[in-house]
Structures are given as structure tokens and as C-alpha cells.
């Protein structure tokens, strides 16, 4: 390389050739560039490693997909290349390189000075100076062989090598180990609860359940706001009901989003779809279909075509007590049978006596029992509901029926004095209010048909007026009596209060206070009695009856005057008279209706009174119902099993419980004089008590009204039969279906009923006895029990009052 001529050089003086120096410099430059590239790449590696770390993190959290991530990683690697190239490409001055060589080779700046002088960087007009510069250049060229380029530009480890290695290690750790893979695939973890009956709502708990379905973000659920739109626009929801009550949820739950391309199926495959009520990223609310087969199965969610799950699930029977609530009522079959029998009896009596309130009550209790059987309600709730139903039944009941009957009798006595109203009066005296109602209707009819003469009408009016007046007087008298009693009690209370204040001794004060409390209680009772009487439906009806009679009498008494006028007045007055007559008739009809109401209420109360024993038993049975998970729900002595065993044996069977099911028995009975009653066999009469029986001897004890066919067989009573002791023993071992046992049962039951009626026994004792007799009730019992009259299953016999 030739140094260019510069203005400072002498004329004709060419600069010496510096190419050897520049060759050395070029060699050193290459080495320097290499080193710089290494340094630059190392430094850039730190940045690249940090960038790669960020990219790996973004890939892991799926902010960028894998392909884009790989591209970014390649870009991160490119940073290293860029760093190397950038560093190597940086300009390195020749003088700088030459100086490095000078230093490393102890050349006393010969090369750098030569380079500087060859560039003409030292202005001078002196020739000798230029000659010296050229000499210096030549000296530099001569020094080239001594130049140690390798020493001047040694390759060394980059300064940032450790940092770069550290970053690379951290990045590698982060990529390989440090950050766990974020799993965003949809998963199902569990179903809550893991069992459910048909119609129940269950929740599938999972994660990322919105992934992979169409427009997951655009169709987010709109739960929690009543005014929010259901589902998402353009995405049909599976469920159509706007509000779906869920167990344990007090308010309505808004149905949420149900994606169009997702579903939940029951069991294997996609055939049995489940109704989806709500679909969210972490849970799916479904409803078990009604036809779901009972037993273990699976639930699988389908997102698009992808199956998620399955989760194990058990479809249970609603009646299976194992799956009832922890505090639900547990009714063992015998209790349930006993309660059913009681209810059937109540219903039968209510129907017979035409007491719809009682029938409603029975139905209400039946519903409560069903709920209890399904484990829906707790024992407290059951008793509370029963108390409420009873209170409703006894609402507005007459507190003193005798007093009312007396009033009716006095009314009837008054009416009996006239020939026209004698049947009515007699009916009221009995009292036979049904007949009284009919008699009143007859009188009204006679008025309508103008069958009564004026005189008869006047007489009827007088009688009715007298009767109404008598009734009013009686009521006023009673009211007066009540007021007097009340006044007296209040006066006494005031007197005693004063006395209490003036008491001189503590004893006196206590005695006075005791008396005072007693009087207050009496006053309270008096007020309550008065209030009950005021609210009594019968008394209200009786008051209306009195008013109707009085009005009818009034209407009828006006008639003669109007008739007098009729001769003189126009046709219009005729019409008025007819209207008066019709009004009187109408009032009599109203009176008849009120009499009917009194009769109805009276009958209701009578029936209630008759059924009081059954109601008491009902209460006791429910009170004794066990609570699942509670102390009384345990059966440490296996009593339930014993009872079941007894029930099986009592019905003449030791077989499997399946035999209890209705219509299962297929084999003919083997016994002679057999007690098989539900089998389809053809038993033949024998000389002895049979020992064989149909497998399905009595059917399911809890489903007495099942599709079974009762066959009634008359056993022959002969010398072969044993005495009472043997009969009972045989019945206990082989069943209660024999004719002889029925007789023994009836005898004993009657004695017990008499004792229970006459003796004062705690209700719980009575319950035990009654339940016992219900258990040992003859299996073929027929007309002996009240319940059987309506085809009811064997149950507790009605009280002796029922027979009346």
C-alpha cells in the first residue's frame, strides 16, 4: 500500500512504501474483528437468552403459539449473530492497531508513527523533518518482521462470558424444568354430588371447559343478573325454562349459556344426552333425565367432537334412603305401613262423613310422608308441617258443642209448637241438622209454590220470629253472662292487685299473687273461649240462621197489609207482594243453607273427634320417625332387621326380600289349608294347617295396594287345630293368615281397645300397643277393620267410636 502524497512533503519526494505495515495491520485487524465478534456475540447472548426466556414463557402460557414461538426463538438466536456482526463491523483505526502491535512487540511506536506519518498528519515545511518522517516510515517498515501480531491481538475469553453462560443456563432451566407446562385442555374433575336421582341437578366440576367450543368469548354466560339476557345471541340454549330451582338455592337461578356445539351424555357413547342447564369454564350444570337407568354409569362432556371425562356417576332411586339428606326422616317399612293405614282410615272416614277438610288434611300428610320418604324434609320440618296442617284443620272449631246443641234444641222446641214447623223443630231438637235443612227447604218451597194460606204464613212468621228472637235472646244472654263473668273477674283482679299492694306480710303477698294469677288465667281462658266462640263457624252460621229466620218472618208478616192494598192498588203492587214472598222464601233457603253449614261443621268436628285417636297416633308415629344420621337413626340392636324378619315370618315367608314385590310369586302354594293368598297357585284344603306357602305370600308390605290378587281361603276348624297358645305360636312362625288366628286376634284386640279407652294411658304407650296389633294383624283380615271397608290394607282398627 502506497502512502499518498501530502502537501507537506518536499517536491519530488515520494513517501516510502508502507504496505508491509498495513499487511501486518490487516492481519491484526482480522484477529481483532474475530475477538470483537466473539465479544459482541457473547454480550448479545445475554440479551438473546433473556429474549428466549420471555418467548418460552409466552409459549408456556400460550400467549403465542408454538410456531410463532419457534420463530421468535430463531429471532433470539439472530440477536447473537447481529451482535457478533455488529461488533466485528465496527471501524478499527490503523493507528490503533499499529500501536497495539508496537506495544506488544516493543517497537517503540515505530509502526503507529509510520502510519501517522504516511497519512501526512504532521504538517511541516521543513525538508529535513520530512526526510526524518520518511526515515521513520522506513524504520517502521524495517520493524515489521519484529511485529508479533498474535501477541498484539490475543484471543481471550469474552468479558461477558460468565454472564452469558448464566443467562443461558437460566433460560435452559426455565425452558426445561422451571416453568411447569400450563395445561389448558378441558378437564372434568368430579361431579357434585356423585349420585343423583332422575330429575336431580348435578354439577360437573372441571377446568377450561370453554376451550374448543365455538365463540367461547363472545358467548359468556349471563348468570346472576335477572335482567340479563339468557344464553348468548345466536347460540341456542338447551334448556328453555327461564328459572330452574336448584337444591339449596332459595332464589331463582338464571339459566346461563349453553354452547351449541357442546353436550353432556350419560353412559357410553353420545346417545343419551343430558339436559344442560348452564355451561361455564369451570362447571356444567345438568339435570339427570327422567328415564335414566338406576345404577352406576358415567357422565361425559363433549366439546365439539372431543370427549372430556368420563366421570363416574350413580343414578339412584329417589326412595333409596342411603342417598337421602343427612337429617332426613327415615321411615321403616312397618312405620310407613302403619301411617298409611292411619291415613287411609282418615281418608275413608272423611269421604264417608263428607268432610273434605279432613280429606285434604290426609292428602297433605300423605304428601309430607312422600317427601320424607324421598329424604327431602327433616324430622323437624315434618312435625312442623303436621302441626300446621292440624291447626288449619281445627281452625274455627266450635269450643262448646254441647252449648250449641242446647241452643239448637231450644230453637227446635220453640218451632215444634206449631204444626207447620214441627218437623223442623223435631229435627233441630235431635239434632238432625240435615233433616232440619231439608225441612227449611220444604217450607221455602211451599212459600214459592203458594201452598201456604195466609194464616199459615202468619203463623209460620210468628214461629220463626219467636224462634229467631229466642235464639237472639239466648245469644245475648250468653254474651251478657260472659260480660258479667268478665266484669266480675276483672273486678276481682283489681281487688286482688290492690290487696297485693297492701299486703302486710310476704306470705300474704304470695298468696294474693297466686290467686291473682289464677284469676288472670281464668280471664284469659274466658276471653279465649269468647274469641273461639266468636270465630266458630257454627256460631257464625247460627247467627246468620237467626237473621235469615227473622228476615223471613218479617217478609212474611208484611204480606197481609200488602194484600189489603192489592185490592185497591194496581198491578205493580201485586208484583211487590210476590217479591216479598220470594224474599221470604229466599231467606228460608238461606237459613236452610246456614243450617247445612252448621251441620257440615258439626259433622266435621264429630269426625275429628272420632278420629282424634288416629290423629294422635299419627302424631306419635311421626314423632317417633327416625332421623338419618341422628342419634335416633342408629339401630344398635338390629331392631329394624328383627322387625323385617318378623314381618317376613308373620306373613309366612322366610324367602328373599324380592318375594315381597307384588306379582312376583309364580309357584303354586304347596300347603294344604294353605295361607297363601297372593300366589297364583291352586291350594287344596287339607286336614291340617299347611306348612307350605307361596313364595310371594303377602307381597310387598309397603305396597299393600299393589297388583296382587288376594285369594281368600276358609280353613276348616277341627280337632286337629291347636288351642289359643298353639295358634299364636303357629302364627308367629308361619304367618298370620289363618282363620283361627283371626278370631284370636279379634278377641285380644277388643280387650285391648277397651282397656285403652277406659284407662288413662300415655299416648306413647297406646302407640306401642296399637302398632303391635297392627303388626300382628291377620293378613287376610277383611271386613273386621274399618280400613278394609275401602279396600285399605291391614292397619290399626278404628276406635270403638267408629262403630257408632
Name the residues that contact another protein, by CB under 8 A: 12-14, 95-96, 99, 102-103, 108-110, 112-113, 116-117, 121-122, 124, 126, 128-136, 138-139
Q: Is the Cβ–Cβ distance between 297 and 286 less than 8 Å?
A: no
Q: In the numeric block, which cell numbers belong to residue 731?
A: 302364627
Partner residues linked to 204 by β-bridges: 191, 284
Residue 66: CB atoms within 10 A of its CB come to 9
Place of cell 337444591: 247
Cβ closest to another protein, residue 103 vs residue 336:
103
Minimum separation from the CB atom of position 66 to another protein (A): 52
Q: Could you give the CA distance from residue 28 to residue 5 in angstroms, rounded to a whole number?
A: 26
Q: Is the Cβ–Cβ distance between 503 and 509 less than 8 Å?
A: yes
Cβ closest to another protein, residue 136 vs residue 621:
136
Q: Could you give the CA distance from residue 123 to residue 114 in angstroms, rounded to a whole number?
A: 14
H-helix or E-strand spanning residue 84: helix 66-89
H-helix or E-strand spanning residue 61: none
Cβ closest to another protein, residue 69 vs residue 140:
140
Minimum separation from the CB atom of position 7 to another protein (A): 15
Q: Could you give the CA distance from residue 319 to residue 261 in angstroms, rounded to a whole number?
A: 35
Minimum separation from the CB atom of position 145 to another protein (A): 17
Cβ closest to another protein, residue 102 vs residue 160:
102
Minimum separation from the CB atom of position 157 to another protein (A): 24
Cβ closest to another protein, residue 12 vs residue 224:
12
> Edge-to-edge strand order for the sheet containing 195-196?
187-192, 201-207, 283-287, 273-279, 262-266, 295-303, 306-315, 195-196
Whether the upstream peptide bond of residue 443 has omega within 30° of 0, thus cis, is no
Minimum separation from the CB atom of position 97 to another protein (A): 12
Cβ closest to another protein, residue 130 vs residue 651:
130
Phi-psi region of 309 (alpha: psi -120 to 50; beta: other; left: phi over 0): left
Q: Could you give the CA distance from residue 598 to residue 541 in angstroms, rounded to a whole number?
A: 6
Beta 306-315 vs 195-196: how paired, if at all?
parallel
Cβ closest to another protein, residue 134 vs residue 379:
134
What's the N-to-C CA distance of the chain in angstroms?
Answer: 146
Minimum separation from the CB atom of position 86 to another protein (A): 24
Q: Could you give the CA distance from residue 394 to residue 157 in angstroms, rounded to a whole number?
A: 104
Minimum separation from the CB atom of position 154 to another protein (A): 18
Q: What is the DSSP secondary-structure string of 708-768?
A: -------PPP-TTS--HHHHHHHHHHH-S--HHHHHHHHHHHHHHHHHHHHS---HHHHHH
Cβ closest to another protein, residue 95 vs residue 695:
95
In our burial notation (b when 16+ CB lie closer than 10 A, e otherwise), range 624-661 reads ebbbbeeeebeeeeeeeeebbeebbbbbbbebeeebbe
Minimum separation from the CB atom of position 29 to another protein (A): 17
Minimum separation from the CB atom of position 31 to another protein (A): 20
Q: Is the Cβ–Cβ distance between 213 and 264 less than 8 Å?
A: no
Distances (CA, A) of 449 to 29, 390, 423, 565: 143, 46, 19, 22
Cβ closest to another protein, residue 9 vs residue 328:
9
Distances (CA, A) of 194 to 311, 533, 720: 9, 56, 60
Q: Is the Cβ–Cβ distance between 689 and 730 less than 8 Å?
A: yes
Minimum separation from the CB atom of position 151 to another protein (A): 17
Minimum separation from the CB atom of position 143 to another protein (A): 10
Minimum separation from the CB atom of position 123 to another protein (A): 9
Cβ closest to another protein, residue 33 vs residue 110:
110
Minimum separation from the CB atom of position 12 to another protein (A): 6
Cβ closest to another protein, residue 129 vs residue 582:
129
Beta 295-303 vs 306-315: how paired, if at all?
antiparallel
Cβ closest to another protein, residue 96 vs residue 623:
96
Distances (CA, A) of 135 to 1, 6, 14, 107, 131: 17, 16, 12, 15, 6
Cβ closest to another protein, residue 137 vs residue 447:
137
Minimum separation from the CB atom of position 153 to another protein (A): 16
Cβ closest to another protein, residue 125 vs residue 271:
125
Cβ closest to another protein, residue 133 vs residue 329:
133
Minimum separation from the CB atom of position 144 to another protein (A): 15
Minimum separation from the CB atom of position 74 to another protein (A): 41
Phi-psi region of 663 (alpha: psi -120 to 50; beta: other; left: phi over 0): left
Distance between alpha carbon 216 and the CA centroid of its chain, in Å? 30
Which residues are within 8 A (CB) of 686 and not within 5 positions of it... i.e. 6 or more apart? 671, 672, 673
Cβ closest to another protein, residue 126 vs residue 502:
126
Q: Could you give the CA distance from residue 649 to residue 731 in angstroms, rounded to a whole number?
A: 9
Please tell me the number of Cα atoms within 13 Å of 107 on its side-chain side: 31
Amino acid at each position: 500500500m502506497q502512502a499518498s502524497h501530502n502537501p507537506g512533503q518536499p517536491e519530488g519526494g515520494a513517501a516510502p512504501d508502507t504496505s508491509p505495515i498495513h499487511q501486518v495491520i490487516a492481519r491484526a485487524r482480522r484477529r481483532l474483528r474475530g475477538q470483537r465478534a466473539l465479544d459482541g456475540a457473547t454480550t448479545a447472548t445475554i440479551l438473546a437468552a433473556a429474549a428466549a426466556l420471555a418467548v418460552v414463557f409466552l409459549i408456556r402460557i400460550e400467549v403465542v403459539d408454538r410456531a410463532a414461538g419457534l420463530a421468535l426463538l430463531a429471532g433470539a438466536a439472530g440477536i447473537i449473530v447481529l451482535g457478533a456482526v455488529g461488533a466485528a463491523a465496527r471501524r478499527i483505526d490503523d493507528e490503533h492497531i499499529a500501536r497495539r502491535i508496537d506495544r506488544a512487540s516493543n517497537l517503540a511506536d515505530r509502526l503507529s508513527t509510520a502510519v501517522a506519518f504516511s497519512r501526512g498528519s504532521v504538517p511541516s515545511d521543513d525538508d529535513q523533518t520530512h526526510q526524518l518522517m520518511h526515515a521513520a516510515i522506513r524504520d517502521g517498515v524495517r520493524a515489521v518482521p519484529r511485529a508479533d501480531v498474535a501477541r498484539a491481538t490475543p484471543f481471550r475469553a469474552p468479558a461477558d462470558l460468565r454472564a452469558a453462560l448464566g443467562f443461558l443456563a437460566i433460560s435452559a432451566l426455565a425452558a426445561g424444568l422451571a416453568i411447569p407446562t400450563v395445561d389448558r385442555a378441558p378437564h372434568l374433575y368430579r361431579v357434585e354430588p356423585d349420585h343423583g336421582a332422575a330429575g336431580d341437578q348435578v354439577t360437573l366440576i372441571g377446568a377450561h371447559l370453554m376451550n374448543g367450543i365455538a365463540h367461547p368469548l363472545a358467548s359468556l354466560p349471563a348468570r346472576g343478573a335477572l335482567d340479563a339476557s339468557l344464553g348468548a345471541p345466536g347460540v341456542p340454549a338447551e334448556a328453555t325454562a327461564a328459572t330452574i330451582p336448584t337444591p339449596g338455592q332459595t332464589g331463582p337461578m338464571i339459566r346461563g349459556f349453553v354452547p351449541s356445539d357442546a353436550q353432556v351424555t350419560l353412559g357410553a357413547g353420545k346417545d343419551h344426552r343430558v339436559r344442560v342447564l348452564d355451561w361455564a369454564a369451570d362447571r356444567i350444570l345438568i339435570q339427570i333425565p327422567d328415564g335414566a337407568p338406576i345404577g352406576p354409569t358415567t357422565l361425559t362432556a363433549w366439546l365439539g367432537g372431543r370427549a372430556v371425562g368420563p366421570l363416574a356417576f350413580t343414578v339412584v332411586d329417589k326412595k333409596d334412603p342411603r342417598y337421602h339428606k343427612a337429617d332426613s326422616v327415615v321411615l321403616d317399612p312397618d312405620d310407613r305401613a302403619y301411617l298409611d293405614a292411619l291415613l287411609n282410615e282418615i281418608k275413608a272416614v272423611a269421604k264417608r262423613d263428607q268432610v273434605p277438610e279432613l280429606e285434604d288434611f290426609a292428602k297433605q300428610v300423605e304428601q309430607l310422608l312422600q317427601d320424607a320418604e324421598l329424604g327431602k324434609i327433616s324430622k323437624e320440618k315434618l312435625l312442623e308441617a303436621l302441626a300446621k296442617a292440624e291447626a288449619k284443620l281445627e281452625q274455627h272449631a266450635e269450643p262448646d258443642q254441647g252449648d250449641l246443641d242446647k241452643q239448637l234444641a231450644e230453637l227446635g222446641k220453640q218451632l215444634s209448637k206449631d204444626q207447620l214447623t214441627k218437623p223442623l223443630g223435631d229435627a233441630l231438637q235431635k239434632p238432625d241438622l240435615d233433616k232440619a235443612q231439608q225441612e227449611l227447604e220444604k217450607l221455602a218451597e211451599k212459600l214459592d209454590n203458594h201452598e201456604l194460606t195466609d194464616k199459615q204464613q202468619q203463623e209460620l212468621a210468628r214461629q220463626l220470629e219467636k224462634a229467631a228472637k229466642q235464639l237472639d235472646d239466648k245469644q245475648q244472654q250468653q254474651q251478657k253472662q260472659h260480660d258479667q263473668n268478665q266484669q266480675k273477674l276483672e273486678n276481682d283482679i283489681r281487688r286482688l292487685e290492690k290487696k297485693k299492694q297492701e299486703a302486710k306480710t310476704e306470705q300474704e303477698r304470695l298468696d294474693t299473687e297466686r290467686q291473682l294469677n289464677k284469676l288472670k288465667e281464668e280471664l284469659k281462658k274466658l276471653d279465649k273461649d269468647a274469641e273461639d266462640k266468636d270465630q266458630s263457624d257454627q256460631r257464625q252460621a247460627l247467627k246468620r240462621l237467626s237473621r235469615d229466620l227473622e228476615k223471613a218472618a218479617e217478609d212474611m208478616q208484611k204480606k197481609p197489609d200488602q194484600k189489603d192494598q192489592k185490592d185497591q192498588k194496581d198491578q205493580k203492587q201485586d208484583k211487590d207482594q210476590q217479591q216479598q214472598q220470594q224474599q221470604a222464601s229466599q231467606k228460608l233457603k238461606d237459613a236452610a243453607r246456614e243450617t247445612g253449614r252448621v251441620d257440615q261443621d258439626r259433622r266435621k268436628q264429630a269426625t275429628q273427634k272420632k278420629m282424634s285417636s288416629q290423629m294422635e297416633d299419627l302424631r306419635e308415629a311421626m314423632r317417633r320417625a327416625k332421623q338419618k344420621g341422628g342419634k335416633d337413626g342408629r339401630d344398635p340392636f338390629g331392631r329394624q332387621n328383627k322387625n323385617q324378619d318378623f314381618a317376613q315370618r308373620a306373613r309366612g315367608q322366610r324367602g328373599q326380600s324380592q318375594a315381597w314385590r307384588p306379582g312376583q310369586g309364580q309357584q303354586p302354594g304347596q300347603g294344604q289349608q294353605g295361607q297363601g293368598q297372593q300366589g297364583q297357585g291352586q291350594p287344596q284344603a287339607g286336614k291340617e294347617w299347611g306348612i307350605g306357602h307361596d313364595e310371594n305370600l303377602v307381597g310387598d308390605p309397603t305396597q299393600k295396594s299393589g297388583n296382587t290378587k288376594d285369594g281368600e281361603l276358609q280353613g276348616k276348624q277341627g280337632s286337629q287345630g291347636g288351642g289359643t297358645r298353639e295358634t299364636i305360636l303357629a302364627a308367629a312362625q308361619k304367618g298370620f293368615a289363618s282363620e283361627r288366628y283371626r278370631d284370636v286376634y279379634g278377641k285380644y284386640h277388643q280387650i285391648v281397645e277397651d282397656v285403652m279407652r277406659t284407662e288413662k294411658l300415655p299416648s306413647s304407650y297406646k302407640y306401642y300397643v296399637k302398632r303391635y296389633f297392627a303388626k300382628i294383624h291377620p293378613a287376610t283380615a277383611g271386613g273386621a277393620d274399618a280400613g278394609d271397608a275401602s279396600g285399605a290394607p291391614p292397619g290399626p282398627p278404628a276406635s270403638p267410636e267408629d262403630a257408632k
